[in-house]
Structure 1
Amino acid sequence: MSLINPLTNAQPSGGVSQTSNQSAAPAKQAASAAQSATTKSDEQTSTTGNPFLDAIRLPKESSTPEPNSQELTQEDFFSLLSQQLSMQDPFKPVDNDQMIAQMASFSTVDGINNLNDEIINLNTVMTSSQALQASGLVGQKVLIPSDTGNISTEGREIKGIISTPETIESITVRVEDDKGQLVKTFTVDGSAGGNIDVSWDGLDKNGEPVADGNYSIKASGKVDGKSEELAVSTYAHVTSVSLGTASTGAILNLRGVGGIKIGDVLAVSES
């Protein structure tokens, strides 16, 4: 009787797992090689090797979906209408007149949206056209509803118009600097009434030229026996024109004064 050595035929501890790992290793290597080959294939497909051609290649489509619009479109309305028809009571179906009225409402809403788009485009065109026409005012002087004018090396004189409700024998004119300090005082004949021309030569009360800057022209006179402040408008030099927006229109940029809408201009002067 022969004895069988149990150590000879017995499998070592963990033998099954080692065999499984050895058999799974080639599969993992094959999968990794396939993935690497796929990646290299994609890179070869996405690139040509030519930097110029690769730079102008269209980008890949993004997998991220675009955010949905929160506005209801005509397709959404028709989808709601379909749901309404599918969920209606068979014993009380939707009346044909109601259905036609709803479809007409949808078409009206869509037409209004299209009309709004056309109006926006028309406003843009009109704004550009208005700015082009206003460019002819560059270099001219415009009358603006403001009592502030500018003194600079390009212009040492401020002209304006005093509006009077009635004839006034003598109008007192005060010139003030941007700090409100009195620079000069003089009188203007207002016996003609209406719009009275006023001009200041840029000299202070001592006959000396004032510093460059903005100055205000104030006017007052007796109306019905009482002293009242009178409205003063001044001329300003147009240096450039800005397009502005559909609501503001073209903007005239005035020397030392700032911008003003073209619709606020009262008059245009040659000099």
Structure 2
Amino acid sequence: MTTAISSYTSSDTTTITTTTTSSDNTSLDQVDFLTLLTTQLEYQDPTNPVDNSEMINQMTNYSMLDEDVEQNENLETIINQLDSLAALSTSSYVGKEVMAEGGIITVEDGDVSDITVKVEEDASVVGLNIYDSDGNIVNTVYTTNLDAGETVISGSALSAQADLGTDGTYSVKAFAYDEDESALSVTLLSAGTVTSVEQDSGDTVLTLDDGREVSITDVSLIS
């Protein structure tokens, strides 16, 4: 008797999937450069090999590329360190009183703060319009015969001419005339307390308690 054996062979098929990640980076780094160079040597025409001078130029370019990358990394490290040092050093300004551009008068318990007037030429008359926190004009104070440069108008002189009995912060705008009654440019400087310090595009900006934001380069006095 013949026994028929039926056989079945199963074959497993393994599928390998290769994922290619594309990169948007179009610049060449050191690895890319070496890969291109070795590929060029591998597939060069034996009857017309790469010229030695061309090979030297390519190696020189590679060396320069490597140096540039290293210099950029070192520069970035230095910039980060300088930013950290700047933030650390300027943090000490918080709580300090500074003199900066802006017309601000503060009244506390009846004491009026000083204000500094700066004119580029001798002024026959300087007027200070004083406004309350609502923008209403309180009074106008006049000072005569100011020499070119900075002149401090004391708080007592201000309170003697203007009714500043209410505590608060007052804003001031100035105007000036010379002896021929021609208008002059005038700048006001006043004190304020630093409440915060920020770095903005390489500049250190101080925020004062009266709301002013001033560059540290414009601060003329720190106490």
| Cα offset, 1:196, TM superposition | 1.9
Residue ranges of structure 2 left out of the alignment (5+ in a row): 1-18
Instruction: Tell me if 1:226 matches 2:182.
Output: yes
| Cα offset, 1:237, TM superposition | 1.0
Q: Deviations over 1:109-164 (max 9, x none)?
A: 2322222222222222222222332233333222223x243647599645443222
Matching of residues 202-241 of structure 1 within 5 Å:
207-210=163-166, 212-213=168-169, 215-222=171-178, 225-241=181-197
Instruction: Tell me if 1:118 matches 2:74.
Output: yes
Distance 1:212 1:117, change over 3 A: farther
What one-letter code is carried by the residue in structure 1 that aligns with 2:221?
V
Q: Deviations over 1:148-186 (max 9, x none)?
A: 436475996454432222222321122235665423211
Q: SS state of the match for residue 257, structure 1?
A: coil
Query: Partner residue of 1:97?
Result: 53
| Cα offset, 1:258, TM superposition | 4.5
Q: SS state of the match for residue 207, structure 1?
A: coil
Distance 1:141 1:174, change over 3 A: same
Between the aligned partners of 1:108 and 1:170, the Cα distance in structure 2 is 66
What one-letter code is carried by the residue in structure 1 that aligns with 2:131?
E
Query: Partner residue of 1:248?
Result: 202
Matching of residues 162-201 of structure 1 within 5 Å:
162-177=117-132, 180-199=135-154
Query: Partner residue of 2:7?
Result: none
| Cα offset, 1:79, TM superposition | 1.8
Q: If the length of structure 2 is used for normalisation, what is the TM-score?
A: 0.69
Between the aligned partners of 2:185 and 2:136, the Cα distance in structure 1 is 17
- Paired residues in the alignment total 206
CA contact under 8 A between 1:162 and 1:219: conserved in structure 2?
no
Distance 1:171 1:111, change over 3 A: same
Q: Deviations over 1:235-268 (max 9, x none)?
A: 22112434x26x3354423113244332x33312
Q: If the length of structure 1 is used for normalisation, what is the TM-score?
A: 0.59
Q: SS state of the match for residue 102, structure 1?
A: helix
| Cα offset, 1:76, TM superposition | 0.7
What one-letter code is carried by the residue in structure 2 that aligns with 1:198?
I
Between the aligned partners of 1:269 and 1:238, the Cα distance in structure 2 is 10
- State the percentage of identical aligned residues: 23
CA contact under 8 A between 2:124 and 2:176: conserved in structure 1?
no
| Cα offset, 1:74, TM superposition | 0.8
Q: Deviations over 1:36-76 (max 9, x none)?
A: xxxxxxxxxxxxxxxxxxxxxxxxxxxx9887461421111
| Cα offset, 1:208, TM superposition | 4.2
Query: Partner residue of 1:268?
Result: 221
Q: Structure 1 or 2: larger strand share?
A: 2
Q: Structure 1 or 2: larger helix share?
A: 1
Residue ranges of structure 1 left out of the alignment (5+ in a row): 1-63
| Cα offset, 1:101, TM superposition | 2.3
Between the aligned partners of 1:224 and 1:94, the Cα distance in structure 2 is 84
Matching of residues 51-200 of structure 1 within 5 Å:
68=23, 70=25, 71-86=27-42, 88=44, 93-145=49-101, 147-149=102-104, 151=106, 157-177=112-132, 180-199=135-154
CA contact under 8 A between 2:133 and 2:170: conserved in structure 1?
yes
